[in-house]
Amino acid sequence: MEAIPAIEGGVPVRETLLPYGHHLIDDADIAAVTAVLRGAWITQGDNVAEFEAAVADYCGARYSVAVSSGTAALHAACAVAGIGAGDEAVVPTMTFAATANAVVYCGGTPIFCDVQPDTLNADPVDIKRRITARTKVLLPVDFAGHPTDLDEIMALARQAGALVIEDAAHSLGATYHGKRVGSLADMTVLSFHPVKHITTGEGGIVLTDNAAYYQRLMEFRHHGIVRGDADDGGWFYSIERLGHNFRITDFQCVLGLSQLRKLDDFIARRRQIAARYRDELGDLAEITLPRTRAGVSPVYHLFVIQLNRERLRVDRKRIYDALRAENIGVGVHYIPVHRQPYYGREFGCCEGDHPVAEDYYARALTLPVFPAMTDADVSDVISAVRKVVAYYRVIGDGGG
Ligand SMILES: *Cc1c(COP(=O)(O)O)cnc(C)c1O
């Protein structure tokens, strides 16, 4: 007789809620931030430039511009790519809404595409169908930390005269055909939100090899201001194009520098946790584990499983609630963006438009994975999933 799930009156696997993601801040991080706070300069200063250089170096990019969030980084990249009224950007519907919102901030139209069933990344075949004369940008996402098909997507963009902005908010440190994410697309965007691979509290960055984009990104971060020559007078600046205040602070960037030193360890730990899930959940026919394509090494921002609903007596909501009752903070990433009421109303997107993403969404659950998880935490997740699945599995009616 199997154990009774907490939601059915049994005892939960653990007593406190394990979140799906969490930052890991240590004493070295705190000391670094404190030192900057005690200094004379707390907003944009030397640590910003140092952090930018360190991230660019890690990722193999020539230039980088750090900003106040990943969303601001996407917004800046879209603006610098030239998206304006009447322009289109192709965005996978399986992403966080910020990817599409950034296009709208610039006056453009996000054209959603469907995803591949195995990687949940933008499907190049569907991208191709959605390219028009107005397509300015292809904006793929490295879902869960598995790099997208950049070779195919770059080729499609070149044929269409479009640029590629890679939303790599999930994939810092991942490699694609032997190269680091950040060195591949026209511009690559990272986020430093606390659930991402490294954190600055809030923060983001745009990476590029293009000197002109770099210049424009720097201007966009700071009101569009361009400094004049000495002849113009020391006070002089001009604003040629509208920008924003998307600056990030020095104490955030010193935190980022300190976090970056631990990034390889963080990634190694995420991979260890993913390997345990594969080893210890792989035999369950009721769930499908994430797949990895040849030639890429993913970094597991998320570990998403899919419920095989024909093998379960209950729906996804019940399994979600049951795991929550075990104090396992499962999540669902994401509600397809085209299903959001705003996008339905303003852009005429509707249910049924992207069947692969919708099918995945109906079956998806995200298991906790973050570097601060202990081995006991990982065991709790595995025990809870096994317990809940065993309780709700469809028992064969063959009478044998
Ligand atoms: C986190 C995230 C963003 C936004 O980053 P913020 O730093 O939270 O603004 C954008 N795209 C994806 C895919 C994300 O996961």
Structure confidence by residue, pLDDT tens digits, 161-218: 999 999 999 999 999 999 999 999 999 999 999 999 999 999 999 999 999 999 999 9
**Per-residue pLDDT at 352:** 81
Atom of ligand 1 nearest to the CA of 170: 15
| pLDDT tens for each residue of 84-137 | 999 999 999 999 999 999 999 999 999 999 999 999 999 999 999 999 999 999
Residue 362: both structure tokens together: 């109906």
Q: HSE on the CB side for 208, CA within 13 Å? A: 24
Confidence of residue 254 (pLDDT cuts 50, 70, 90): very high
Cβ-contact 44, 250 below 8 angstroms: yes
Q: HSE on the CB side for 150, CA within 13 Å? A: 28
Q: Is 197 in the pocket of ligand 1 (CB under 6 A)?
A: no
Integer Cα distance of 12 and 21 in angstroms: 20
CA 108 to each of CA 75, 137, 198: distance values in angstroms, whole numbers, following the listed order:
11, 10, 30
CA 37 to each of CA 40, 251, 356, 359: distance values in angstroms, whole numbers, following the listed order:
8, 7, 48, 49
With a pLDDT cut of 90, the percent of the chain lying above it is 93
Integer Cα distance of 149 and 293 in angstroms: 10
191 CA distance to ligand 1 middle (Å): 6
Integer Cα distance of 355 and 86 in angstroms: 27
How do strand 225-227 and strand 287-288 relate by DSSP bridges?
unpaired
Atom of ligand 1 nearest to the CA of 141: 13
Integer Cα distance of 101 and 71 in angstroms: 8
Mean pLDDT across the chain, nearest whole number? Answer: 96
- Among all residues, which ones are annotated catalytic? 196
**Per-residue pLDDT at 156:** 98
320 CA distance to ligand 1 middle (Å): 23
Measured in degrees and rounded to the nearest 5, phi and psi for residue 175 equal -120, 150
Q: Is 21 in the pocket of ligand 1 (CB under 6 A)?
A: no
How do strand 187-191 and strand 179-180 relate by DSSP bridges?
unpaired
Predicted confidence (pLDDT) at residue 397 exceeds the cutoff of 70:
no
Atom of ligand 1 nearest to the CA of 192: 7
Ligand 1 pocket test target in 193, 197, 244 with most atoms within 8 Å of CB? 193
